[in-house]
């Protein structure tokens, strides 16, 4: 039986520093993943080959990050019927707005779940992939719920510390 995993694709190694945030989230939630640098424009044949074989090997969710005229997520969505999450990168003078529109504005019938530009989007791609998988994985669902509760608790603790500091001054 193939092992379920998430594939993180990025159009260039220049996307890697931001996409490390996705890897951190998936590691924290104990979701297996692969990482692949492949480009919709520069290596179209390799992109097609990777997506097809990854699906056969058990990839259930694809995350695709790209900047500028960012077509990677859309191309991946044209190859697979598994969910595709697009992460627009800030890679040029338009500060990611070009990639946001290129990733989000897919024609009807070929969806890409597009997250925010840059690091917040990279993190959310990891969370969203985990949430998608957790629909059919009760143990992962518990980890996702626990992580969300911890992040809420951290905000409450920071507020309590701030209030204590303000009251003391
Ligand atoms: C996109 O072009 C990549 O995803 C990257 O965000 C951007 C710039 O790529 P490099 O010129 O740094 O390789 O395809």
Q: What is the pLDDT of residue 1?
A: 55
Same domain, 25 and 52: yes
Single pTM value for the model: 0.96
Model pLDDT for residues 1-53, shown as the tens digit of each residue: 579 999 999 999 999 999 999 999 999 999 999 999 999 999 999 999 999 99
How close is the Cα of 62 to the center of ligand 1, in Å? Answer: 18
How close is the Cα of 164 to the center of ligand 1, in Å? Answer: 46
List, in sequence order, the alpha helices (H) in 58-169: 72-79, 97-104, 119-134, 138-168
Same domain, 122 and 156: no
CATH number, domain with residue 103 = 3.40.50.1970
Same domain, 90 and 113: yes
The boundaries of the domain holding residue 149 are 138-169
Same domain, 88 and 69: yes
Name the nearest CA neighbour of 11 among 68, 60, 53: 68
> Given pLDDT bands bounded at 50, 70 and 90, which one contains residue 169?
confident
Q: What is the pLDDT of residue 2?
A: 77
Same domain, 96 and 169: no
């Amino acid at each position: 039986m193939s092992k379920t995993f998430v594939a993180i694709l990025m159009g260039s190694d220049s996307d890697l520093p931001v996409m490390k945030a996705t890897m951190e989230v998936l590691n924290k939630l104990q979701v297996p993943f692969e990482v692949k640098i492949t480009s919709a424009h520069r290596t179209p044949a390799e992109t097609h080959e990777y997506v097809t074989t990854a699906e056969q090997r058990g990839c259930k969710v694809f995350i695709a990050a790209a900047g500028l005229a960012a077509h990677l997520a859309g191309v991946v969505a044209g190859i697979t019927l598994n969910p595709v999450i697009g992460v627009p990168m800030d890679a040029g003078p338009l500060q990611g707005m070009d990639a946001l529109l290129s990733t989000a504005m897919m024609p009807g019938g070929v969806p890409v779940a597009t997250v925010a530009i840059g690091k917040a989007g990279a993190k959310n791609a990891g969370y969203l992939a985990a949430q998608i998988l957790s629909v059919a994985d009760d143990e992962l669902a518990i980890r996702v719920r626990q992580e969300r509760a911890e992040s809420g608790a951290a905000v409450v603790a920071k507020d309590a510390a701030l209030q204590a500091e303000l009251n003391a001054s």
